[in-house]
Structure 1
């Protein structure tokens, strides 16, 4: 009960506490803005994280994070994998919550802002392999997402594969292969995700990615200086960037430079500081 805000206009409002006279169970009485079952995963850390995010909602463009039952997803198809994660596209039957403005409230002298769902929403399912063994890893990934709908990458919720028990991050339909977030080194993965999560949809953005080495052709050494060797190469897919209208395209077969840092795998912090 201590986690609830006192502002009547918040997304989740606690009106009071009651008690069932037959069972003796205490009851929290709150507004009916969301199916509260979508708070409950059965894992205390995940449930606390979801509730904490929901209780921070105070703007119309804030994302309502939910626990999403796995049976909500249809048309599940693999779109990428790299050994650490598998990314699927799917249709979320109910879809994410968003705030709609419909009627004028004379008491608050403002528009009523009720929640509706964007049903049959195409989403991406980021399945983190063996994540049931490391909840902190899962939550650290979830915390890096923006809470705004206009962000490039939006986290709608968390789910769990009922067959494998792997936890799943549910995000908006990606314009980038999300498998290119992950290389298996947590510090590098976190760095890439942190940079990507700061991108909005206002245009003129360049997307930082993990790029598989087999994407490079015509690799030729062009210079060397101590611990750094520089190569020219052709990147088959090429960089992903947006125009002023927010549309993303790739500049394929792009000539680029590869800076090979000698023994950098032994000092990831040093490597990241170079980026």
Structure 2
């Protein structure tokens, strides 16, 4: 990965989330610049909204907004303070393709909660709303914003609907509208659409598919071998051989907009772990292959020529030496390998000298022991040697 890929195009600092090209300081700056485009008509409320959005930490965090009351349709009373409604434009989401915030979920079903006893904006109102922020984060019950009935002057807190539209049960993950029972049902229905041709392998995959309990869990799959391009051997041991390759379609991800699993990223670099002499596969061998690897597993495949089975894993292996990369950033592979970097410095020792053996030894020792940190170098400045 080049420095251009991990540094923000606007400010030049490293992206807070590299894969999403999401920079927290720049996003907060965008919100502040957008303040001129809206107002609740009350300075305390405007400050509350701005303060809340200063706390965003990641692309999937909800953006808190002032929501005009005419955006709320089909309001139905549940009790004297709680209502169901439809938000016409829907909330802001960070689009992972466009790398910006957009409104993709039109006619979003929401709850609105009346602040009937707080029609006058005071410090009491401020701290009451702040208490909702706190309880919302604890209960995983996201708040979209604040609105006001222009006739009654009644204020409302706008919450995400916490019940699944398909089965009526409470979402397992309310923030991302992920229902465990519905997703497992969806996966079970998909069992008839694929087979490895081996009952042991099919049962192994299905068992792990049914163990998902969060929206970002990896869906382990049977992956046809013709999905792999540009296969290169990296390393070999007594049990397996590791290859680097490109998975054409890429893995399944839970789409936060469509609320279903999609292949949205396309080509993905992965590693193939060939299990030697695995033609007569057993459940024990599959478990051994899985347990011998600490990296995320995407699925299982099979070489059609050798009939060896393959475990498809996240690619974190150095192409030069075959060892796992020393570090990674937010799930993106940072192509930095400590053994290879140390080897590079050792080979480079003959290309320079300070003219002083003790200084040379000091620099070399620092380079070998702190290769990942800012490397010590000797610099002649005003007659002094500094590092």
Of Structure 1 and Structure 2, which has the larger fraction of its residues in helix?
2
Q: TM-score, normalised by structure 2?
A: 0.33
Q: TM-score, normalised by structure 1?
A: 0.46
Of Structure 1 and Structure 2, which has the larger fraction of its residues in strand?
1
Instruction: Name which structure has the greater RCO, CA cutoff 8 Å, separation 6+.
Output: 1
Larger Rg: 2
